[in-house]
Amino acid sequence: MINVTKTFLPPFEQYTETLKRAWDKSWITNNGELVLELEQKLKDYLDARNFILCVNGTVVLQMAIKALNLTGEIITTPFSYVATTTTILWANCTPVFVDIDPGTFCIDATKIEAAITPRTQAIMATHVYGYPCDVEAIEALASKYGLKVIYDAAHAFGTKINGTSLLNYGDVSTCSFHATKVFHMGEGGCIVSNDDKLSRQMYLYRQFGHIGEEYFTIGINGKASELHAAMGLCNLEYVGEILAKRKEKWLFYYEMLKGSDVQLLTISSHVDYNYAYFPVVFKTEAALLKVIAALKDQEIFPRRYFYPSLNLLDYVEYQSCPVAESIARNVLCLPLYFDLLETEQLQITGILLHELKEPALCN
């Protein structure tokens, strides 16, 4: 069986040896030494001014919205994981969907201005598949209209733009270290921000708003545990290799599929991409479903990601975004992970190309 992803795991002994440091102290959470060490190492790796290690990639979005005091409309993308929209709704804010750029799958910055109203307070955009939004255009709009910018950078670990980590953009960038992401600690996430005051606030939120007996603010429990930090510390040692392998496999898929009847992601020369996902956009949903069925026959399970377009969820007010709706219907992420074999990639692309050549039987 081949799944869309397979979690990278370090050697088991390496994990237990790292974990033993916490074990020996009987200290497994509350900013233990493994969390502090991982936090410092990731801060250095990402060249971040402020870096907060947290429990997952969702609570960090909630903390960012809270710290920025957002209460009104937030301009966002319909093409993301559902957490992007639900954290806006969770905070009783209103998501205003702006359609996406069909080439990058990220929010279409040229369409943002038309969506700005007197109630707009922020832009919350996703670097879809780890590929950057038009960060310069978004920054220009934000300063023109006095808007805050949050990037859901859950996919973006390791991507660089103009030589710097993509997480350094916006008022706040958040990332996920969930087991399915490029770098992971089982469950985990982080906040990166250049704003010291905002970072201090979110640092306090992470631990219920207090340090010892001093109570500064309301808060939440966003702490990472030593069990997760041990996984992160182990995996961080392999991150160079992980990124290199993904790139090799990504480029192999690209070579096999370019020129065929599917749309692929094109990487601009100013982007140092992390090759987090390999999305393929079909011309029709019928073609996509046909390929899914043929792959399933061989026990190969790609993922419709992201599907559906979030503006179509029952619990949000519908706003038309034709590009996102069409891409969400027609996009498939192919299996891509550390030890995926070239023979398996050939099998996958072989089936895909074969199905594209065969005329669909009906519709």
Q: How far is the CB of 122 from ligand PLP (least distance, A)?
A: 16
Q: Find, among 268, 12, 319, 293, the residue nearest to 133 by Cα.
A: 268
Query: Which one from 66, 148, 160, 181 is the annotated catalytic residue?
Result: 181
Q: How far is the CB of 178 from ligand PLP (least distance, A)?
A: 4
Which residues inside 45-74 make contact with ligand PLP, applying CB under 6 A? 56-58
The DSSP symbol for 166 reads G
- 178 makes contact with ligand PLP (CB under 6 A): yes
Rounded Cα gap, residues 202 and 82, in angstroms: 22
Counting Cα atoms < 13 Å in the Cβ hemisphere of 348 gives 29
The DSSP bridge pattern shows strands 331-334 and 73-76 to be unpaired
Find the binder of ligand PLP among 126, 201, 330, 349 (CB under 6 A). 126
Number of residues that bind ligand PLP (CB under 6 A): 14
Q: How far is the CB of 306 from ligand PLP (least distance, A)?
A: 8
Nearer of residues 5 and 94 to ligand PLP, judged by Cβ: 5
Which residues inside 74-93 make contact with ligand PLP, applying CB under 6 A? 80-81, 83-84
Nearer of residues 43 and 178 to ligand PLP, judged by Cβ: 178
Contacts of 53 (CB under 8 A, 6+ apart): 35, 38, 39, 42, 188, 189, 190, 224, 229
Whether 323 and 301 have beta carbons less than 8 Å apart is answered as no
Q: How far is the CB of 81 from ligand PLP (least distance, A)?
A: 4
Q: How far is the CB of 176 from ligand PLP (least distance, A)?
A: 3
3-state helix, strand, coil in the chain (%, to 5): 40, 20, 40
- 304 makes contact with ligand PLP (CB under 6 A): no
The DSSP bridge pattern shows strands 120-126 and 148-152 to be parallel
Length of the chain, in residues: 363
The window from 7-15, 92-100, 148-156, 266-274 that contacts ligand PLP (CB under 6 A) reads 148-156
Nearer of residues 101 and 355 to ligand PLP, judged by Cβ: 101
Q: How far is the CB of 334 from ligand PLP (least distance, A)?
A: 17
Q: In the annotation, is 6 catalytic?
A: no
Find the binder of ligand PLP among 19, 154, 224, 243 (CB under 6 A). 154
Counting Cα atoms < 13 Å in the Cβ hemisphere of 279 gives 24
Residue whose CB is nearest to ligand PLP in the complex, by number: 57
- 95 makes contact with ligand PLP (CB under 6 A): no
Nearer of residues 186 and 290 to ligand PLP, judged by Cβ: 186
DSSP string for 42-111: HHHHTT-SEEEEES-TTHHHHHHHHHTT--SEEEE-SSS-HHHHHHHHHTT-EEEE--B-TTT-SB-GGG
Which residues inside 4-33 make contact with ligand PLP, applying CB under 6 A? none
Q: Which sequence positions are flagged as catalytic?
A: 181
Give the binding site for ligand PLP (CB under 6 A).
56-58, 80-81, 83-84, 126, 152, 154-155, 176, 178, 189
